[in-house]
Structure 1
Amino acid sequence: MWWAAVRGLPGWAVPALAAAVLWKKDKERARACKMPASWRKEMHPYYNLSVTVLRAQNIQGADLLSKADCYVQLKLPTASPLPYRTKVVYNSTDPEWNETFHYRIHGAIKNILELTLYDRDLMLDDKLSAVVFDVGSIKPGQTIRRAFKLNPKDKQVLEVEFHIEESQDPPSEIITNGVLVAHPCVCVEGKIKFDVNKEKGNYILKLSVPGSYEKLLCPPLKQSQTEEVGKFVFHADKEISPHLDVCLLKTLRTAQNDLAPELDKRTLYLGKESIPLASLPEGQETDIDLLLSKSHVVHMSMTKEESSQELDVRLGFALSQGEADFLEKRKEIIAETLKDALDLNVAPDKVPVIAVLGSGGGARAMTSFYGSLQGLQDLKLLDSITYLSGVSGSTWCMSMLYEDPDWSKKDLKEPINRAQKSVTSSKSGAFSAERLRYCTQELMALESDGCKVNFSDLWGLVLEYFLHQKDNPAKLSDQQDSVCRGQNPYPIYAGVNVRVNINGGDFAEWCEFTPYEIGFRKYGAFIRTEDFGSEFFMGHLIRRRKEPRICFLQGVWGSAFAANLDEIWTLSSGTGIRWLNSLTDVIRVIDDCRKLHFRDPTRLQTRLIMPGGFASNIFQDFFKSRFTAGELYNFTRGLYLYKDYMGVREFVAWKGNHLDAFPNLLTPMEESLYLVDGGFSINSPFPLVLQSERDVDVILSFNYSWQSPFEVLHLTSKYCKERGIPFPNITVTEADEKEPKECYVFMNADNPRVPIVLHFPLVNNTFQAYKAPGFFRETDEEKAFGGFLLREKDSPYRTKNFTYEATDFNRLVELNRYNVLNNEHTIKSALKAALDRRKKKTSYRGLKEKKNVKV
């Protein structure tokens, strides 16, 4: 069967194709994936779209000394893997083409056509302007002509005619969660034999399926006749009419690089043939002879099969079954804890959901988080917490705690003592010859397994030594043992997916890492934690790899080094490189039919992109590129955006220049993920616990950043406002911004759906005078221990410092522990208020459901 692991592949095929196609699910996976059925199947028709590029007028080329040599490129990646283009009209300001291009589009998908006007050049064609058009705005049977304005300052226009009609092809079934769409995937597996005459020479056989996962394969051919040279596998979208292209070339001299003979440019083209995959019968081996020239024949045997409808990527927004099971068990523990701590009898189904958040801040955040958690344990409230989530340095604390399946049931002094040994020990051993040799071997092993090795992997190995001083075999899925009985809070580790040339403040997609699943709640796409790092396409597992050790995930969660120069400038000066914004592409909404489509919220407005130019691209790449961002396999690759995806609150497609308004550029259309430190977006994981599915009532936010003690709240407020997520109003006085207190409470008394937020800035206020709440410092030693400045010039707590003296470590732990203990009344009052609000929330939700109104 073609889903079996392909054995005996030649060495050339290992990095190029997914050798182990694992469509058949094992029993272990079947048990682990009994997820809530939040996806659905739908039937949608096909449509035939005709696009006629008529003409352009008043075009000004990039070269001021001559008229433009124009052509138009058309890209519709949801219907064709390759772009189309018109002929070139030379030396004309008013080029006319009258060329028609045909597409078959699927009605379930958001189909966005990109029309780009180019000026032909000898070296590199100049991109003059581009129009992004939602073809879903055209009604079946309708022909419309549009004159797109290419520059608001002059009369440059591009005239295009569109016609759409329903196809005669029968409707097809898709799987969707309302954001993503999964199409049927076909897999073609084959073997090759090559007949060659007695003439000498080296031959190159190129196999490609445009739009496929594998792209291009170049097996080496040998001199002997009828020799089987290799096997191949391609995975492609059945709906885009894929075809296998076979091209034969001959090198005119012996290649210098035996591993990559296709790189030798002295080649002679011998012939090419194309095989439509639709012509191959399902599930049968087919023999095909391709006569590529008079004396060269390629014998191929191929088998085509279609994927099953069962996906390996979970599409849906419900909590994973593992998390849902945890919540049921955790409620019992929380009810008992609140009974003891608050002297209240609370039914398990009425307990509030409490989340504790730790911000980033390197070793300072890790050390501080230990102290905050110890304070909650001393108040006997640690067992009332449902979720524990962190960014960057706080995740280092979490990952070390969860190595013990019962850590929250034990005194935290022991793990704190272990952390002290790590933080106070010398870090020079991380760069010893022996350790560097070990790191090299580990990275080479990853690379040989086909993983995308990058700087974050090396950083993860460095962190492994910093935190453990030895190899740490732990994996994130091991932490299932820590929550299977509801005995500890449920851990949520944070990262964000970014673009290598866009600031995290402008675009960042939150990715959650939990013991059971890793995924994007924005897209409703999740995979098993054990499968992270494996290769996926169109929702199916293509090649499984070993789950990475947690040190490599720590390298992602704490990858602060992935900042680009513009972000570094922002951190140091408070503002970005302003003149750089003048070089970016200008995006404008040019929709002349807004009134006509005012009632259609699913339609994206037409947008004009005016490029900044070749020189500006160089500056953008230099100042905004993340040269050390961690590149990982994209498990959403090959999925499409649903036609109504904009209706999901996680998307801000209503912003004219936001990437969410360009579905052809969003993550499912990308080959790789670029996961970095969540601090590049918001330096605290608020977005991960504010999801409606988690229904959080109280958030304890511990902020360990150096500056701007309320910045994470302001950024979260903006994030929630853009997406319609309930969040309290954040009002802070100027005096508090300069001299913050230990704890702030933010809540909306009129809306029980808005969580109560308790925010703890990192401050040393009353701790200087009190060794414990209500007990003054009396001796000189006690006063010296509490009388330190956090932010002095030579502070040991600078973010880049990973080594503390024992006294400095203990001070920071005790400070954060004290700040929690000193606000016992505030915390318990918030929990009591949350109990009352949950009752109101339940009544409010029941009333709404009774009226059939969506909450």
Structure 2
Amino acid sequence: MLRIGAAFPGIGTLLLRQGWANCGLGAASGPLDVLIWPLSSCQVEGSGACPTPARSQGAGSGACPTLLMLWLCMAPGSSVSQSNCYVSLWLPTASAERVRTKTIKNCRDPVWNETFYFRIQSQVKNVLELAIFDEDIVQDDGHFIVLFDIAKIPLGETIFMKFQLNPQVRTDITSRVSWEDLDVRLGFELCVEEQDFLHKRKKVVAASLKKVLQLEEDLQDDEVPVVAFMTTGGGTRALTAMYAHLLSIQKLNVLDCISYVTGLSGTTWTMSNLYEDPDWSQKDMEASVSDARKHVIKNKFLACFSMDRLKYYVKELQQRKQEGHKICFTDLWGLIIEAMLHDGEDQHKLTDQQQALSRGQNPLPIYLVLNVKDKISNQDFREWMEFTPYEVGLLKYGAFIRAENFGSEFFMGRLMKKLPESRICFLEGIWSSVFSLNLMDAWYISFESEEFWHKWTQDRVIDIEEEPVLPTRPSTLTTRVVSPPDSLSTVFRDVLMLRPAVSEIHNFLKGCQMHNNYLENEFSRWKDCELDGHPNQLTGAADHLALVDTAFAFETSYPPLMRPERKVDLILHFNYSSGSQIAPLIKASKYFSEQGIPFPKIVPGEEEAKSPKECYIVGDKEGPETPVVLLFPLVNDTFRNYKAPGVKRSPSEMAEGEIDVANINGSYNINNLRYSEEDFDKLAKLSYYNVQNNKDLILQALRIAVERKKQHRNSLKPHTPL
């Protein structure tokens, strides 16, 4: 059993002991004993005898499963004023209910003389939360929360500890777990299908590189670089410009050199439409651009809000609810996107895109969203989630499910209820939900700072374990104190953090205890989540995932490409976001540097944002582990005076070169869903031209990537001694 005595709120003394409780013989001191069974309410015994649980299978005679017994008192002489103190205790892995001591009135040294029993399971992460409250008529005041990992307690020993509740140290803790034979694949390696695709795609890329770079010899498999086409968000302007960029890349015979295409927000619309055709990159893309033009210039109100279309929305949402999906506004938004970009109902699903990868004939598409928490800013908590035609997964945990099972119900890694696979339009609603940001996110987008609001909305979390008193184990957390916000801050939090239209999807990590080896291993390389120090708030404890558009927090779709398993060598960065065309790359460089992930550190500065060039190459002067990045800002530079590379405009053609893509309130602002024919044509021609005009830089970057692969291959060859 585990016995705990605690003193609050100054310095606390803790008596800890864990072992097998002989429940037939033991007796608890004090007038109240409480036994909490898993998934049940508390059982209160009025006597001092230890309540006897049912004997567990495999337990020895006269023994019961490990019990957690807590004894609480106030340290004599604590420097606190007269108060009505009580302590609330919660062990989420033992019970959903919280228990509490009685209130000691007007006392600065209260002794509760109460004992609490919890039945614990050692195979899960057991973190005890002890909250200290001052009882009040209107609302009880919470002073501190102590988070204690009971795995610290050696079996059968008695240990005394002191907690200093006003320390200065703070730590962050992460973890990872890997299991086999589950419906959730836990592991950071690429799935078998993606590995098979890369093997096939490598042959296509090798042949294309030999042709484009005019190589004399065929490339060996380990000499073929992995090239990615990376995009940002930007609504209709992102959709339009991406079509034109892909067409221009195709005309340079470089499209077959690319293995991955990543997107978020508006570029997911382009990707979804293209992959309806299994051979889209092998055909002339001018037809695809023409089809996109037809939908971009059409009247969106008539297409999306006719009476027949509204009836169709109701029917589809009712059917989706009957199937077992949790209906939200993004489902309606997905149906509106379907109406904007198609003539009728689109029956395609994400898994249908596997046909476009079966022979390695197209790059692998990766769609990116964020999993967030209610009442928490995207900058404080965000988990990258990627979608491919094969799998959907959270990068942080290395947890993936089959793409056709996304939205189904899981528990402890097992598929409990299979739901029909969602049509691609519903996924587009999630990937590009412009309605999922809260006021805090909007503030960050406007000013890129949340420091002021954090003072009002964040709990203060402090590590109080200066020197470990107990033997350390890799899976244990440091003991921490949480100071909750006051009532005014709580009101601010509720208003600022409200998400009116977030996508809620059944959590495929529900019931998974992502806790083993917290200190020994990391979840992965993503360390930017404040809640990692709170295992009771990890994703495995949530019923639903809250998915939002990535563009509100990060703007680029780099994260899936930074997985070391993908070994990306060259990234073509096409920027479609509004505002600074350099800032997204600067932000990505800073972010990955903080994460310890190889990424170019020498990037164009903010001064370049005032007059950006058409193309930048970065990372080529850094180490071989750093990918080379070719940045294409969406700018109108030489296009003003040239209609094609080296071909100047005549005086009568100068008006065609006048296009303002920098004005965030102009024709190409990201909230504009409909373009005129002239606006579409100008944006498409500008995007096409900027790629054609920088052909030499593209070929230079490809040569660098090939040369790096050859150098790496040669470095692995055994040297012959002289």
Same fold (TM over 0.5): yes
Displacement of 1:410: 0.4
* Residue deviations 1:311-334 (CA, integer Å, cap 9, x gap): 211111111121111111101100
Deviates more, 1:66-75 or 1:661-670: 66-75
Is 1:312–2:183 an aligned residue pair? yes
How far apart are the structure 2 equivalents of 1:91 and 1:496?
48
Deviation at 1:374, TM superposition (A): 1.1
SS of 2:247's equivalent in the other structure is helix
Task: From the superposition, tell whether residues 663 and 735 of structure 1 become closer, same or farther in structure 2 (CA, over 3 Å).
Answer: same
Q: How does 1:35-184 map to 2 (within 5 A)?
A: 49-55=68-74, 67-103=82-118, 105=120, 109-122=124-137, 124-151=139-166, 179-180=176-177
- Partner residue, 1:412: 285
TM-score, normalization by structure 2? 0.84
Q: In structure 1, what residue type is equivalent to 2:616?
A: Y
Structure 2 residue 267 is matched with structure 1 residue 394: yes
Instruction: State the Cα distance separating 1:79 from its structure 2 match.
Output: 4.1
The offset of 1:81, in angstroms, is: 4.0
Q: Secondary structure at the match of 2:631?
A: strand
Which residue of 1 is the match for residue 340 of structure 2? 466
Relative distance call for 1:338 and 1:786 in structure 2 (3 A) is same
1:590 CA drift (Å): 1.8
Residue-by-residue CA offset, 1:274-304 (whole Å, 9 max, x unaligned): xxxxxxxxxxxxxxxxxxxxxxxxxxxxxxx
**Deviations 1:188-241, CA, capped at 9 Å, x for gaps:** xxxxxxxxxxxxxxxxxxxxxxxxxxxxxxxxxxxxxxxxxxxxxxxxxxxxxx
Alpha-carbon deviation of 1:660? 1.6
CA contact (8 A) 1:52 1:100 kept: yes
**Deviation readout 1:615-670 (Å, 9 max, x if unpaired):** 32121011112121111100000000232145555568988x81122221111111
Matched, 1:515 2:400: no
Higher mean C-alpha deviation, range 570-579 or range 582-591: 570-579
What is the Cα deviation at residue 737 of structure 1? 2.3
What's the TM-score once normalised by structure 1's chain length?
0.71
Following the alignment from structure 2 to structure 1, what is the Cα–Cα distance between the partners of residues 527 and 405? 34
Aligned partner of 1:484 in structure 2 is: 358
How far apart in 2 are the matches of 1:731 and 1:578? 29
Whether 1:677 aligns to 2:696 is no
SS in 2 for 1:719: helix
Match of 1:776 among 648, 651, 655: 648
Letter of the structure 2 residue corresponding to residue 385 of structure 1: I
Paired residue for 1:829, among 700, 710, 714?
700
8 Å Cα contact 1:181-1:642 kept in structure 2:
no
Q: Which runs of 5+ in 1 are unaligned?
A: 1-45, 154-176, 183-308, 848-855
What are the superposed Cα offsets for residues 583-605 of structure 1, whole Å, 9 maximum, x if unpaired?
432222222326988x8765433
User: Which one-letter code corresponds to 1:53 in the other structure?
Assistant: L
> Counterpart in 1 of 2:247?
374
Change over 3 Å in CA distance of 1:717–1:78 after alignment to 2: farther
CA gap 1:718/1:85 in 2 versus in 1, 3 angstroms: farther
Deviation at 1:360, TM superposition (A): 0.2
Cα deviation code 1:712-748 (max 9, x no counterpart): 2233223323332111113323431221111111116
Distance in 2, Cα, partners of 1:812 & 1:59: 70
Aligned partner of 1:496 among 370, 385, 409 = 370
Aligned to 2:221: 348
Letter in 1 for 2:397: Y
1:840 aligns with 2:718: no
> Separation in 2 of the partners of 1:758 and 1:111?
47
| Structure 1 partner of 2:380 | 506
Report if the CA contact (8 A) 1:491-1:514 is conserved. Answer: yes
Residue number in structure 2 paired with 1:721: 593
Q: Aligned letter for 2:678?
A: T
Deviation at 1:580, TM superposition (A): 5.4
For 1:107-133, what per-residue CA distance to the aligned partner results, in whole angstroms no more than 9, with x for missing partners?
554432221112334554432210122
TM-superposition CA deviations, 1:127-174 (whole Å, max 9, x none):
221012233333444433333233469xxxxxxxxxxxxxxxxxxxxx
The offset of 1:573, in angstroms, is: 4.3
- Distance in 2 (CA, whole Å) between partners of 1:594 and 1:823 is 58
Given the alignment of the two structures, is residue 435 of structure 1 paired with residue 432 of structure 2, yes or no? no
Partner of 1:324: 195
How many angstroms apart in 2 are the aligned matches of 1:364 and 1:443? 29
Which structure 2 residues correspond to residues 414-813 of structure 1 after superposition, within 5 A?
Answer: 414-429=287-302, 430-576=304-450, 578-579=452-453, 581-593=455-467, 603-649=476-522, 658-747=530-619, 749=621, 751-780=623-652, 782-792=653-663, 795-813=666-684
SS of the residue corresponding to residue 735 of structure 1 reads helix
Please state how far the C-alpha of 1:523 moved relative to its aligned partner. Answer: 0.8
Per the alignment, residue 690 of structure 2 pairs with: 819
Q: How far off its partner does 1:438 sit?
A: 1.4
Report how far residue 491 of structure 1 moved.
0.4
Which residue type is aligned with residue 113 of structure 1? L
Q: Is the 8 A contact 1:653 1:661 kept in 2?
A: no
Give CA deviations for 1:408-435 in whole Å, capped at 9, x if unaligned.
Answer: 0001111111100010000012122221
Using the alignment, how far apart are the partners of 2:521 and 2:500 within structure 1? 32
Check whether the contact 1:452–1:632 (CA below 8 A) recurs between aligned residues: yes
In the alignment, structure 2 segments of 5+ residues that lack a partner are 1-64, 169-173
Q: Is the 2:153–2:470 contact (alpha carbons within 8 Å) kept by the matching residues of 1?
A: no
Does the 8 Å contact 1:54/1:97 carry over to 2? yes
Secondary structure of the residue aligned to 2:83 is coil
Alpha-carbon offset, residue 460 of structure 1: 0.8
When residues 842 and 614 of structure 1 are mapped into structure 2, their CA distance, relative to the original with a 3 A threshold, is farther
Output the CA distance in 2 between the equivalents of 1:842 and 1:685. Answer: 29
Whether the 8 Å contact between 1:652 and 1:660 is mirrored in structure 2 is no
CA–CA distance in structure 1, aligned partners of residues 503 and 90 of structure 2:
29
1:325, 1:813 → 2: CA distance? 35
Residues 635, 662 of structure 2: 8 Å contact kept:
no
Letter of the 1:508 counterpart: R
The one-letter code sitting in structure 2 at the alignment partner of 1:746 is V
Q: Contact 1:557–1:676 (CA<8 Å) still a contact in 2? A: yes
Determine helix, strand or coil for the equivalent of 1:788. Answer: coil
Distance in 2 separating the partners of 1:626 and 1:768: 42
Deviating more after overlay: 67-76 vs 453-462: 67-76
Partner secondary structure for residue 404 of structure 1: coil
User: What does 1:173-212 correspond to in 2, within 5 Å?
Assistant: 179-180=176-177
Instruction: Give 1:577 shift.
Output: 7.7
| 3-state SS, counterpart of residue 373 of structure 2 | coil
Higher-RCO chain (CA-CA 8 Å, sequence separation at least 6): 2
**Residue 461 of structure 1: how far off its partner (Å):** 0.9
Stretch of structure 1 that moved more, 375-384 or 52-61: 52-61
Cα separation, 2, equivalents of 1:539 and 1:846: 42
Distance 1:660 1:778, change over 3 A: same
Change (3 A) 1:108 1:739: farther
My pick for the range that moved more, 817-826 or 82-91, is 82-91
Say which SS state the counterpart of residue 642 (structure 1) adopts.
coil
AA matched with 1:120: E
Provide the aligned C-alpha RMSD in A: 2.7
Is the 8 Å Cα contact of residues 110 and 644 (structure 1) preserved in structure 2?
no
Q: How far apart are residue 610 of structure 1 and its match?
A: 0.8
Is the 2:575–2:633 contact (alpha carbons within 8 Å) kept by the matching residues of 1?
yes
CA distance in 1, matches of 2:664, 2:391: 42
Q: Is the 8 A contact 2:583 2:609 kept in 1?
A: no
SS in 2 for 1:439: helix
Residues 749 and 595 (structure 1), Cα distance of their counterparts in 2 relative to 1, 3 Å cut: farther
Larger strand proportion of the pair: 1
